[in-house]
Copies of this chain bind each other. A is one copy, B any other.
Amino acid sequence: MNWLDEGALYSSIGLFLREDLGRGDITTQAVLSRNVRAKGRFVAGEKMVVAGLEAAEEVFITLDPHAQIEAFVADGEEVEAGKVIGRTSGFADVLLAGERVALNLLQHLSGVATRTREFVNAIEGTQAKIADTRKTTPGLRMLEKYAVLLGGGVNHRHGLDDGVFIKANHAALAGGVGTAVKSTREKIGHLHKVEVEVASDRELKEAIDNGADAVVIEASAATELIKTAREMSAIVAIVVSGAVTKENVRAIAEAGADLIRVNSLTQSVRAMDISFQIQPG
């Protein structure tokens, strides 16, 4: 992550800690004295692609700059159940205060990376790439998109300002795919490409005739439209979106898609089983 990503990360971690800590951890304050030291280990409870260790480390550093943290795997690495992926040591109250936020991030982001890896593996050997969507968790987009990269996928747009994507809604309001692409071509900066959703041969033709750089096809209609698109243009990028599943993703890739957008990389994510084991010391 670059400077700004890191800046955004630090700022988010602070918000997440405040959300959980409020005025402070009253249980730990009542149970423990201030100077008790402890060690904690993050242990994978199932096979997974790890993501979020860097964020988890940041949680403890935010609470105490002197906390010691050691990662045993890099973000993006695949581990088996039972693997100790990292450990931390410091004051017990710091470990207990950061435990839940660190785990919530780590489990969720590892879920994103693991699912991404499954889709990437499913199309291995094809020319296609697995991409994410904007169906992310509000407030976690940067972290989730980073986990997609760790899983081996690529990022589609980071936001509405990060690339032109004319959806069916836009086309309908503008009077058709052709009009929309044409209007965009004229107004958009010279550094942006134009991507447009198409649902029929006619729309495909309108898109390509008006200079679209990429066309987006619904998964259900993918096989046929991909073939037509390839016949119409050698250079237009072909993107498939919508109801993409582990079952149909390989067929879509083999049909010739360049990019396959998968909602479930970042939506309805299953949190990975990771535990944090604390002991004195």
Q: Mark A223-253, 1 if CB is under 8 A from B, else 0.
A: 0000000000000010100000000000000
Q: Mark A185-212, 1 if CB is under 8 A from B, else 0.
A: 0011111110100000000000000000
**Do B173 and A105 touch across chains, with their CB atoms under 8 A apart?**
no
CB closest chain-B residue, reference A214: B190
Of residues 12 through 36 on chain A, the ones whose CB sits less than 8 Å from some CB of chain B are 12, 15-32, 36
Q: Mark A152-172, 1 if CB is under 8 A from B, else 0.
A: 001111111111111101111
CB closest chain-B residue, reference A5: B24
A154 to chain B, nearest CB (A): 7
How many copies of the chain does the oligomer comprise? 6
A278 in the interface, Cβ–Cβ < 8 Å? yes
**Do A138 and B2 touch across chains, with their CB atoms under 8 A apart?**
no
A132 to chain B, nearest CB (A): 11
Q: Which residues of A contact B (CB under 8 A)?
A: 2-5, 12, 15-32, 36, 38, 63-64, 92-94, 96-97, 99-101, 103-105, 107-108, 111, 134-142, 154-167, 169-174, 180, 183-184, 187-193, 195, 213-214, 237, 239, 258-259, 267-271, 278-280
Chain B residues with CB under 8 A of A19: 138-139, 141-142, 159
Chain B residues with CB under 8 A of A189: 154-157, 162-163
**Do A139 and B136 touch across chains, with their CB atoms under 8 A apart?**
no
Chain B residues with CB under 8 A of A38: 173
Bound form: Cα–Cα A161–B21 in Å: 6
Chain B residues with CB under 8 A of A169: 96, 99, 278
Known: A104-B136, A138-B104. A165 touches B280 (CB 8 A): no
